[in-house]
């Protein structure tokens, strides 16, 4: 089940690295992140520009510049990043692609799919980048290879 585009996947991995291995109250360069995760530097740059435009990251140019979280990691939820990269309507899609699928005129799998989306959305809304970064730092969870 391909739930995220490449932009979403790379974006999540990259921002999680940024959160999990923060430079002491300063910016981290995109180059470092893309090198560590073996992702295309240019592609990550493009994705991060989007996250900066959406107010999730802040950036600074020049030597010792880079990117940083715009808010503390416990105040940025998974859902914020996903919606920023995949679109605000991410959880509003009908499984079989009907335009105005809803309670009034549902498709045959509407009810089940709606419940599924609600559960995922709840989890993403409750999960902060901070909680995920702890897992990564604990070495039990990984972001690449």
Partner DNA sequence: TTTATTTCGGACTAATTACTCTGAAATTTA
Partner DNA sequence: TAAATTTCAGAGTAATTAGTCCGAAATAAA
Nearer to a copy of itself, 41 or 91 (CB): 91
Kindly state whether residue 63 participates in binding DNA, applying the rule CB under 7 A: yes
Select the binding partner of residue 13 from a copy of itself, DNA, none (C-beta < 5 to 8 A, by kind). a copy of itself
Select the binding partner of residue 137 from DNA, a copy of itself, none (C-beta < 5 to 8 A, by kind). none
Nearer to a copy of itself, 7 or 58 (CB): 7
Select the binding partner of residue 145 from DNA, a copy of itself, none (C-beta < 5 to 8 A, by kind). a copy of itself
Taking the complex as a whole, how short is the minimal distance between the CB of residue 15 and a copy of itself, in angstroms?
A: 11
CA distance 137 to 133: 6
Kindly state whether residue 52 participates in binding DNA, applying the rule CB under 7 A: yes
Secondary structure string (H, E, C) spanning the chain? CCCCCHHHHHHHHHHHHHHHCCCCCCCECHHHHHHHHCCCHHHHHHHHHHHHHCCCEEEECCCCCEEEECCCHHHCEHHHHHHHHHCCCCCCCCCCCCCCCCCCCCCCCHHHHHHHHHHHHHHHHHCEHHHHHHHHHCCCCCCCC
Q: How many whole angstroms from its chain centre is CA 8?
A: 6
Kindly state whether residue 53 participates in binding DNA, applying the rule CB under 7 A: yes
Kindly state whether residue 49 participates in binding DNA, applying the rule CB under 7 A: yes
Taking the complex as a whole, how short is the minimal distance between the CB of residue 65 and a copy of itself, in angstroms?
A: 26
Select the binding partner of residue 78 from a copy of itself, DNA, none (C-beta < 5 to 8 A, by kind). a copy of itself
């Amino acid at each position: 089940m391909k739930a995220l585009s490449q932009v979403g996947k790379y974006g999540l991995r990259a921002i999680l690295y940024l959160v999990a291995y923060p430079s002491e109250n300063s910016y981290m360069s995109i180059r470092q992140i893309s090198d560590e995760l073996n992702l295309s530097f240019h592609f990550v740059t493009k994705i991060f520009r989007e996250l900066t435009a959406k107010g999730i990251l802040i950036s600074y140019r020049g030597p010792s510049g880079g990117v940083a979280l715009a808010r503390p990691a416990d105040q940025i939820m998974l859902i914020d990043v996903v919606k920023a990269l995949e679109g605000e309507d991410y959880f509003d899609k009908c499984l079989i692609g009907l335009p105005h699928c809803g309670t009034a005129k549902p498709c045959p799998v509407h009810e089940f799919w709606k419940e599924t989306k609600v559960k995922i959305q709840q989890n993403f809304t409750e999960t902060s980048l901070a909680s995920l970064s702890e897992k990564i730092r604990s070495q039990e969870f990984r972001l690449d290879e």
